[in-house]
Structure 1
Amino acid sequence: MKFKKGLLLLALTASLKITFAQKNASVQLPDARHDLILQAPVKTWDEALPLGNGLMGGLLWGENNTIRLSLDRGDLWDERSYNGKEWWKDHTYAKGVELVAQKKYGQLNNSWDAPYNGVTPTKLPTGRLEIKLPTEHIVQQFKLHEAVAEGEARFNSKAVLKVIYSAIQPVALISIKGAVPDAIQLLTTMDVYRNSKKGESGLSSGGSVQKLGYPEAERGGKESAQWYIQTAAQGLKYCVYVQMEKRNDETLIALTITSTNDAADFLKLAAERCSIALKQGYASLMQQHAQWWKNFWQQSSVSVPDTAIQKQYNLVQYFYGAASRANTPPMPLQGVWTADDGILPPWKGDYHNDLNTQMTYIAYQEAGRFEEGLSYLNYLWNRKPFFEQFAKDFYGTKGLACPGVMSYTGQPLGGWGQYSLSPTMSAWSAHLFYLHWLYSGDNKFLKEKAYPWSAGVGECMLGLLKPDEKGLLKLPLSSSPEIFDNSPKAWLTPNSNYDLMCLKMLFLSLQEMASVLKQPGEAQKWEKAAKALGDFHTKSDGTLLVDAVHELPYSHRHLSNIIGIYPFNLVTTEGEKRDAEIIRSSLKQWDSLGTSQWCGYSFAWMSCLQARVGNAEKAVENLDIFVKAFILRNGFHVNGDQTKSGYSSMTYRPFTLEGNFLASQAVQEMLLQSWSNQPGMEHTSMIRIFPAVPDKWQSASFSNLRAEGGYRVSAKRENGKTVFVQITASKAGIVRIKNNFSATPHWNLPQVQFKGDVYSVELKKGQTLIAQF
């Protein structure tokens, strides 16, 4: 009898442990309390509710009885080259080297910078839908239901407008109840320009849309449908199509954007898409849409005891689902929310590879949003032939290179040549392939895409690097974004720390990938290249210089000379004694120079970096400033300090998304880290639970965040102490966990080993390790 009671007690205890683990590891949908809510009126497009499905985007805003939906589609670009020719074939890197040697800086700037001053290439805005209700209906509030990606406008009359950008179909559907629209008007981009009464150019913009020289759009309509067809350039035409249907007390409006990229008869396709959506109805389409978003949110979740930061984190994760899908264009500077004011988008809405694209796609890996992250990697992979040709034509090398500033097709746009045509921007882009492999644990992706693309970049870099008198590999030209702007001083002594760190991280990652792929000869080649770059440039106290000659001269927006600390793990808190000196002295210098020249993304980046080196209070301080001063009320990151509180002397308004994603990553860096302190060596990553949690976050948790090696990790913290950890392996391997716990963990597996300050255990695929305290 006692034996049976003992078995029962053991079974009950085991059941309670399983229930406890399931509860603490369960992923939570976004709490409705953290939804984005905007009190009306919303008078500008850049403060609107952002909606999208990867291909199409919409901004919901308005005032009084008028609701506006600003329209966008990710692959609509005017790709006309500067002066109508491939200018980079005439103004090559080798010629640039000659001009710098001859100190003909003006001539070089004219060769490489002038193309960016043209109107095209540029991303295209696509107009606006305006819905006017009877004048007695006054909009009071806009709300984004993040869990189901539904926009909503509520009126004083109790009328309600709802809109979804279907996650399943390339169509948006609007439902209006409680009021019947007086008018539904489709505005072209030229209509918007004429109505906006703005000047010819905006900050960092190519000017008004009329500079494109397009003919007026052709309008059409029949029964309950209206559309316009815009002839663009180089054979591109696109159609914005709207169809309305009234059902009892509901008005339905379906909207889509099609183009010659879709079909020859893109008008017919648009009509079919809208007809199918209307036939299905809002409730039915919403059901499928909501299920897609439920699956999206179930990848992972985070909970922190700071409402402002939690709201920003949730919103930014939503951005991945709304603006980035594996089979749609990746997010450029403004994602699928191009300017809607009659002006071409800031900085052409392009792909900036000296920070913006890399940081936009820096937060998906740990969140496990691999399908969304593949958008950019698939884009880079699909343009591999063009990038190979670009390496040959411009750099004169084998391998491949992507321009530092590029259009949707991948063509270089020019700009400040030190950065827009820097070869090491490609090395930083290759880092995203490496991270995707590390966090997904997908060796098929490693073999088929990550290693081939990254090795192509490596070959291009080896083609440019030449040994100096000491045998160290040096680039012909060197720079550090965006120090000294485009002045002659911006041509630094090769190699700048930025270039050196990008190259070293590239070669070490290639060494590791080649080792895993059982290619020892390749691994040795990359290891040799990494060593031949030499050491980083520092002062005697360890302070990282800009290059071998220059100290960081002033407050600066781009953390380029300390990129080896973050996002790369070349200088770490777990490295040699010299690493600690470098981190301490370099951050002391950055502090002494102040933040007067920082942008919003600088604070978010510094938050990530401070978290990586274990400075939790500094990490949250920078993140708090970002959330307080550098986002608009709809959550979009803007480059300048909107509070004018002195955080930065920059107070301008253009929004770009990379700061948002950096802020999201900063939260993840505080909660979970898994980098290797031996980059280049395979299977050396280590998991760190709550490595940089500030004191004010006494309670926090996360579920199913990813760690390098393909592990799913969940953990909970209460009263300042870790109380639960769960790690599940996506493939067989040894998991290593740093012991930063305040109490001894009780593991569910007896074979856990403890040596030094590291717990380790070999897990089978699908096996779960649990610790309770």
Structure 2
Amino acid sequence: MKKLKCFMVLVLIMQLNNSLAQKKGVLEFPKSEDNLILTAPIDRWDEAIPLGNGLLGGLLWGEKNTLRLSLDRGDLWDERTNGEPEWWKKHTYAKGVELINEKQYDVVSTWWDTPYNGTTPTKLAAGRVEIQFPVDEILKDFELNLASAEGIARFQSKSIVKVIYSATKPIVLITIKGTSPSAVNLLSTMDVFKKGKVDSEESSGGTTEKLGYPDAIKGKSKNASWYIQTAAEGLEYCVYTQSKQVGNETLVAVTIATSTEAKDVLNLAKRRCKSALDQGYNAVLAKHKGWWTEFWKKSSVRVPDAAVQKQYNLVQYFYGAASRTNAPPMPLQGVWTADSGSLPPWKGDYHNDLNTQMTYMAYQESGRFEEGASYINYLWNRRKVFQDFAKDFYGTKGLACPGVMSYSGQPLGGWGQYSLSPTMSAWSAHLFYLHWLYTADDKFLKEKAYPWSSGVGECMLGLLKPDQNGVLKLPLSSSPEIFDSSPQAWLKPNSNYDLMSLKMLFLSLSEMAAAIGKTSDVKRWSDAATATGNFHTKADGTLLLDAITELPSSHRHLSNIIGMYPFNLITKEGGEKDIMVIEASLKDWEKKGTSAWIGYSFSWMSCMQARVGNAEEAVKNLDIFVKAFVSRNGFHLNGDQTKSGYSNSTSRPFTLEGNFLASQAVQEMLLQSWSPTPGKLNSGIIRIFPAVPTKWGDASFTDLRAEGGYKVSAARKNNKTSWFSITAKNAGFVRIKDDFQGQKPKWNSTRVQFNDGIYEVNLAKGQKLEALF
């Protein structure tokens, strides 16, 4: 009888396997209906078709018979310090603490805020190419083909222009068919300034002329034109364009070469363009498409909302277009610096009080680790700069990255409460921790994640001192960007933001130390996490700003509730107290309203609501973001562009973090894998469709990543999970939360156990677990 039962079980498993084999997740490349299609004219750079290859970036736009391609390169920076060189060595953190305790706020503000008020340091644009066509050629529309990363411009005559930023070479190639250009003009940044009208909202750092550069050296030959710009501190760059006629097709090649690559920038640029033209568009396109095919194979998502789907795919495209392993990471505007004669909004810098962290928060689940490694490698490669900054400014061992910094890692200053807050480094360290969790790469953990993050831990411990109750406190505390730069912004240490950032850092360090066998470090970091004390709440659980200060009104930065998201310190699975804190705090934020919010506030709140399981609130905030806070080309514009009252701000400056938060919000609704006990090794739990709104009744995803390196695919029909699979990268114990609305999964394994609402099973390396409902 036992043999018969075993045989029947095996038959059932075989039948289930056959059934599952027909329902496996299939990767979906972006469809034509997901493409970005814009009717001509496009007469603003921030509404243009965005193109790029990580190093080079471009914006395709124009009107009537003029086609423009705005040019950018990620490492074009003017690093000149505004004011006294290395001012942070003289006006140190310790001196600031002393003066703030004496209430000499204006002195400290002058020290730390003034350096930001100059023209430099700043990101630089690289001019533009303008292609003139016969007067009877009128632009009809523009398109971004997401699958092939091609920019397309169509004319009413059916003539067509296609543009690629080669995915494999630092070259731009343009093909023109059906007509011939009457002129290909190359404009330097100063030419653009003289020709254009500067938008005051885009010129927080001033205009190009304020840089004081000598005139660009311009050159021209029969089929080529170029300019060589001498910038600051020895930087020289050449922008070069060359044309070639091949039958009825006109080819135009463009590149930007810098003195960091070669002494003779002109010769390097010439060689690049000649090589591309000799190969031809189709040959370059073939390699380019091959790269993008592999990019789109990483994962895919499908939701039944066209606007959200388009935004999700576009933002994933941004990772491929604007971020690469060995290229500069994305600052505020990525590789799409303002092309209006102005310097970019907020100098196009690296803001670490939200922007960089949130820009690099959506790649982990989508498996775009090579693109995400751009920022990780950037931080790692500047560790000596950050070690010096910790020593020179904070007076500690370890390392710290400035809250606002240039490409070199130089502190830019600004509102001192945030631009020089030490805990911004703790938030950056969180990205190393997440990269390890999602890649399950123990070599990366040992060689980069733990060394960099523990360096931050050393700096924090050097600043923290026990109070009379033994609770570790910082000398100064703040909460981005509450009370702006007023004296009131110096909160009572530790603010909830600082406390949550520190606690998450120490818990993650304890977990990472356990994973690499550093037993003594495990206790050290765990003890430090405990010693930071409890979060500050009212009696009803509402999170305060610090021990005594309530959130006074609507605010853009969700800093005092960061412990809910992206940190998993306060969770819906953390017991009655956590649930009380979540409900009271979100109710408080709702009561304060959204009048002071900007675009990223809505996409961050969407992530936050999804994390705590509030699906309808999550999608409501996401929908508002997509509707009101993006330009027609998908870029996040900070203010409410519809003027519908979602926010008092209707400003236009473009930054990227809101886009990436929106992409992550979609992923948070579909898949989560955080641990309810952070700091405990191998304690993550996979949650499939944890916060899907009713209107997304049919949804699916393929090969999203979960903590532990798992690949997860799933389908949902009629508001219920219908199938999922989990593939293990390494051997390990996988836990899956029962969020299946009373449905019982039919497994392809007999070893799955069910304990306290969690399905558990050991998987071998490469093994796939599947379930059907």
State if a TM-score over 0.5 links the two structures. Answer: yes
Matched, 1:124 2:107: no
Question: Does the 8 Å contact 2:398/2:458 carry over to 1?
Answer: yes
Match of 2:92 in 1: 92
Q: 1:197 deviation in Å?
A: 3.6
1:326 maps to 325
**TM alignment of 1:471-620, pairs within 5 A:** 471-620=470-619
SS in 2 for 1:765: coil
Whole-angstrom distance in 1 between the partners of 2:760 and 2:29: 32
- 8 Å contact from structure 2 (residues 668, 691) kept in 1: yes
- Asked whether the 8 Å contact 1:202–1:343 carries over to 2, the reply is no
Deviation digits for residues 546-600 of structure 1, max 9, x if unmatched? 0001000000000000000000000000002110000000001000000000000
1:250-399 matched pairs, under 5 angstroms: 250-399=249-398
**Following the alignment from structure 1 to structure 2, what is the Cα–Cα distance between the partners of residues 263 and 381?**
25
Distance 1:340 1:203 in 2: 9
Q: Which deviations, in whole Å up to 9, do the C-alpha atoms of 1:714-755 show, x marking residues without a partner?
A: 000001110101000000100000001131001101111111
Find the residue that maps to 1:25 and give its secondary structure: coil
1:417-438 CA distance string (max 9 Å, x none): 0000000000000000000000
Residue of structure 1 equivalent to 2:21: 19
3-state SS in 2 of match to 1:219: strand
Question: How far, CA to CA, are the matches of 2:325 and 2:428 in structure 1?
Answer: 17
Cα offset for 1:347? 0.2
Question: Which whole-Å CA distance do the structure 2 matches of 1:202 and 1:694 have between them?
Answer: 37
Q: Residue 3 of structure 1 corresponds to which residue in structure 2?
A: none
Give the Cα separation in 2 of the matches to 1:507 and 1:9.
50
| Matched residue SS, 1:470 | coil
Partners of 1:205 and 1:129 lie apart in 2 by: 25
Q: Does structure 2 conserve the Cα–Cα contact (< 8 Å) formed by 1:573 and 1:613?
A: yes
How far apart, CA to CA, are the structure 2 residues paired with 1:8 and 1:700? 31
The 5-angstrom pairing of residues 146-295 of structure 1 reads 146-198=146-198, 202-203=201-202, 205-295=204-294
Superposition deviation, residue 527 in structure 1? 0.3
Q: Secondary structure at the match of 1:696?
A: helix
- Alignment-derived partner of residue 4 in structure 2: none
Q: Is the 8 A contact 1:641 1:650 kept in 2?
A: yes
Aligned equivalents of 1:648, 1:449: Cα separation in 2: 41
Task: Tell me the SS of whatever aligns to 1:451.
Answer: helix
**Counterpart contact for 1:600–1:626, Cα < 8 Å:** yes
* 1:357 aligned counterpart, secondary structure: helix
The question of 1:756 aligning with 2:753 is answered no
Shift of 1:204: 5.8
The Cα of 1:205 is off from its aligned counterpart by 1.4
8 Å CA contact 2:20–2:770 kept in 1: the answer is no
Equivalent AA in structure 2 for residue 752 of structure 1: V
Cα distance in 1, alignment partners of residues 763 and 279 from structure 2: 47
- 1:715, 1:726 within 8 Å by CA — same for their partners in 2? yes
Structure 1, residues 106-146: CA drift from partner, whole Å, max 9, x if none?
11110000000011000001100000010111000000000
Q: CA deviation at 1:265?
A: 1.3
Do 2:477 and 2:494's aligned partners in 1 also have CA atoms closer than 8 Å? yes
Aligned pairs for 1:711-750 (under 5 A) are 711-742=710-741, 743-750=743-750
Is 1:420 equivalent to 2:419 in the alignment?
yes
Counterpart for residue 768 of structure 1: 768
**Structure 2 equivalent of residue 400 of structure 1:** 399
**1:18 CA displacement:** 5.1
Instruction: Give the total of aligned pairs.
Output: 765
Structure 1 equivalent of residue 61 of structure 2: 61
Which amino acid letter does the alignment assign opposite residue 700 of structure 1? A
TM-score when scaled to structure 1? Answer: 0.98
* Cα displacement string for residues 197-254 of structure 1 (whole angstroms, at most 9, x for unaligned residues): 437x545611110000001100012231110000000000000000100000100000
Structure 2: how far apart are the matches of 1:744 and 1:327? 46
Distance in 2 (CA, whole Å) between partners of 1:160 and 1:271 is: 26
Contact 1:616 1:693 in 2 (8 A): yes
Counterpart residue number, 2:454? 455
Per the alignment, do residues 13 and 346 of structure 1 end up closer, same or farther by CA in structure 2, a change over 3 Å counting?
same
1:654 is matched with 653
Amino acid at match of 1:267: L
| Cα-to-partner distance string for 1:67-90 (whole Å, 9 max, x where unaligned) | 000000000000001225111111
* Contact 1:122/1:407 (<8 A) preserved: yes
Give the secondary structure class of the aligned counterpart of 1:547.
coil
Output the amino acid matched with 1:20. Answer: Q
Counterpart-to-counterpart distance in 2, 1:457 and 1:560: 20
2:34 aligned residue: 34
**Hey, what does 2:5 align to over in structure 1?**
none
Aligned-residue offset at 1:25:
1.4
Contact 2:203–2:342 under 8 Å retained in 1: no
SS in 2 for 1:552: coil
Same amino acid, percent of matched pairs: 66
RMSD (Å) for aligned C-alpha atoms? 1.3
Q: Note the C-alpha offset of 1:19.
A: 3.2
Deviations 1:244-285 (Å, cap 9, x if unpaired)?
000001000000000011111121111111111111110111
Query: Whole-Å Cα distance in 2 between the matches of residues 615 and 19 of structure 1?
Result: 33
Q: Distance in 1 between matches of 2:410 and 2:455?
A: 18
Alpha-carbon separation, structure 1, partners of 2:13 and 2:695: 39
Letter in 2 for 1:760: E
User: CA–CA distance in 2 between the matches of 1:154 and 1:14?
Assistant: 51
Does 1:639 pair with 2:620? no
CA contact (8 A) 2:203 2:343 kept: no
C-alpha separation in 2, matches of 1:83 and 1:585 = 46
CA distance in 2 between counterparts of 1:657 and 1:198 reads 21
- Secondary structure of the residue aligned to 2:713 is strand
Q: 1:474, 1:202 → 2: CA distance?
A: 39
SS in 2 for 1:579: helix
Q: In structure 2, what is the Cα distance between the partners aligned to 1:409 and 1:50?
A: 25
- SS of the aligned residue for 2:696 comes to coil
1:339 aligned partner, one-letter code: A
Residue 45 of structure 2 is matched in structure 1 by: 45
Show the counterpart of 2:666. Answer: 667
Q: How does 1:690-701 map to 2 (within 5 A)?
A: 690-701=689-700
Q: Does 2:688 align with 1:689?
A: yes
Report the alpha carbon displacement of residue 12 of structure 1 after superposing the two structures with TM.
8.6
Aligned to 1:707: 706
Distance 1:442 1:588, change over 3 A: same
For structure 2, the residue ranges without an aligned partner over 5 or more in a row are 1-7
**C-alpha offsets along residues 481-536 of structure 1, whole Å, 9 cap, x if unaligned?**
00000000000000000000000000000000000111110010000000000000
Unmatched runs of 5 consecutive residues or more in structure 1: 1-5
Structure 2 Cα separation of the partners of residues 84 and 90 of structure 1: 9
Q: Secondary structure at the match of 1:501?
A: helix
- Please give the per-residue CA displacement for 1:413-471, whole angstroms capped at 9, x wherever unaligned: 00000000000000000000000000111111000000000000000000000000111
Q: Distance in 2 between matches of 1:291 and 1:11?
A: 38
For residues 9 and 669 of structure 1, what CA distance do their matches in structure 2 show?
A: 37
In the aligned structure 2, how far is the partner of 1:436 from the partner of 1:314?
21
What letter matches 1:388 in structure 2? Q
Q: Secondary structure at the match of 2:284?
A: helix
